[in-house]
């Protein structure tokens, strides 16, 4: 055999070997790919979709911190200030003297009666009974007028005094002074949509916009009459709705500033829970769902209030934020692991009203 024939035979053998190796490599690649896809498909088939029950709805009310009591004081139209007993910003107690007014016309009348009394006394040298009777009448009149000549005004409640200055460029009538109590509350308004959900003594969380302080309180008053002066902060694009005054009493009076704008959030507690009807398994007289309890299936018997093809209202057995299996399999057993994998997680949604009113001066942050 010649040299060229030997070389040709070796070349054929090498080519066949390369072909076999390449074929085996391609076959292995396809096998591994198909095996991986089958494993992934199997894992996806074993995953379950969960449903998170939404938290309680929250209602937001914007308002202002105001004193619980406020009263303006002025001397009578016929009187003038005789003595002012308070200074601007003074803290006073109930019953403290604010000011004294005098009535010039009454004083003039008293002076006239005193002149008459003096003349009668001079003329009554014989101690005439008729004149004595007239003298007694004049003394009684003078005594009654003395009580009207000088009038003291006292503080009806404890608080702080503010002296009001009349602007030189304004003819607007202002009061002499204003007394405001040291106790404050929040004055706000709720729309007709939210009003039925609120109750007296409901707990409230309050955010102070200017300093982000968190306060607590309770609803102390709910008006049943639409407000004639809508709060410009409370409309939130709801100009076509009626609004009702809501008062909120603070649990702590420290660091409250008159006029600060605030936002209250009230959680509406509802014992009824809405879940997908597909999540319910019914066997004989029992209805139940499977909860995802830290990755473990837990059977939970429920009481149904109402239902349709899409959703069911549950009256007991479930709580807010519970995670349940949306499409359970009757072969599932309590205590088995929950394989959610990359399966979608659905939620009931953000409760209505869980947003800051657009017209608020600053976005509220609920924590």
Provide the residue-wise pLDDT of the chain in tens; the chain has 367 residues: 554 454 445 554 545 454 545 455 555 555 554 544 444 444 434 578 999 998 888 999 999 999 999 999 988 777 788 899 999 999 999 999 999 999 888 888 889 988 888 888 888 877 888 888 888 998 999 999 888 888 899 999 999 999 998 655 555 657 899 999 999 999 999 999 899 989 999 999 999 999 999 999 999 999 999 988 766 554 444 568 899 999 999 999 998 999 999 999 999 887 788 899 999 999 888 999 999 999 999 999 999 999 999 999 999 999 888 999 999 988 899 999 988 665 556 655 433 333 344 334 433 333 3
User: What's the pLDDT score for residue 364?
Assistant: 36
User: What's the pLDDT score for residue 229?
Assistant: 75
Secondary structure, 3-state, 243-278: EEEEEEEECCCCCCCCCCEEEEEEEECCCCEEEEHH
Tell me the pairing of strands 243-250 and 184-191: antiparallel
Q: What is the pTM of this model?
A: 0.62
User: What's the pLDDT score for residue 300?
Assistant: 95
Those residues with Cβ within 8 angstroms of residue 266's Cβ, 6 or more apart along the chain or in another chain: 58, 59, 60, 61, 198, 202, 203, 204, 219
User: What's the pLDDT score for residue 127?
Assistant: 81
Dihedral class, residue 100 (left if φ above 0, else alpha if ψ from -120 to 50, else beta): beta
Residue with tokens 């702080």: 160
Q: Please state, in angstroms and rounded to a whole number, the distance separating the CA atoms of residues 330 and 50.
A: 16
Angle subtended by helix axes 129-149 and 104-123, to nearest 10: 160
């Amino acid at each position: 055999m010649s040299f060229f024939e030997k070389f040709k035979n070796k070349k054929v053998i090498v080519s066949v070997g390369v072909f076999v190796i390449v074929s085996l490599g391609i076959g292995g690649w396809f096998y591994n790919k198909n095996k991986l896809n089958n494993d992934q498909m199997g894992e996806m088939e074993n995953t379950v979709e969960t449903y998170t029950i939404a938290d309680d709805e929250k209602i937001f009310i914007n308002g202002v911190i105001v004193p619980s009591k406020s009263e303006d004081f002025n001397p009578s139209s016929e009187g003038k200030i005789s003595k002012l007993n308070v200074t601007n910003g003074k803290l006073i107690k109930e019953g403290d003297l604010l000011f004294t007014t005098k009535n010039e016309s009454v004083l003039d009348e008293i002076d006239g009666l005193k002149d008459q009394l003096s003349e009668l006394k001079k003329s009554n040298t014989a101690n005439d009974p008729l004149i004595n009777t007239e003298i007694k009448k004049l003394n009684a009149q003078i005594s009654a007028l003395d009580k009207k000549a000088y009038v003291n005004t006292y503080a009806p409640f404890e608080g702080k005094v503010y002296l009001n200055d009349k602007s030189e460029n304004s003819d607007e009538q202002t009061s002499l002074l204003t007394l405001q109590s040291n106790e404050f509350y929040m004055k706000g308004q709720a729309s007709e949509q939210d009003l039925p959900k609120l109750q007296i003594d409901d707990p409230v969380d309050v955010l102070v916009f200017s300093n982000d302080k968190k306060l607590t309180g309770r609803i102390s008053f709910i008006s049943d009459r639409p407000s004639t002066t809508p709060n410009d902060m409370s409309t939130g694009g709801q100009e076509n709705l009626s609004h009702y005054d809501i008062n909120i009493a603070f649990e702590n009076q420290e660091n409250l500033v008159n006029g600060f704008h605030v936002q209250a959030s009230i959680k509406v507690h509802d014992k009824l829970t809405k879940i997908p009807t597909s999540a319910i398994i019914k066997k004989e007289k029992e209805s139940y769902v499977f909860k995802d309890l830290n990755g473990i299936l837990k059977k939970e018997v429920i009481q149904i209030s109402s239902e349709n093809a899409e959703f069911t209202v549950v009256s007991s057995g479930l709580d807010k934020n519970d995670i349940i299996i949306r499409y359970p399999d009757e072969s599932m057993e309590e205590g088995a692991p929950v394989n959610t994998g990359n399966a979608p997680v659905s939620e009931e949604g953000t409760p209505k009203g869980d947003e800051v009113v657009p017209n608020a001066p600053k976005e509220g942050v609920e924590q």
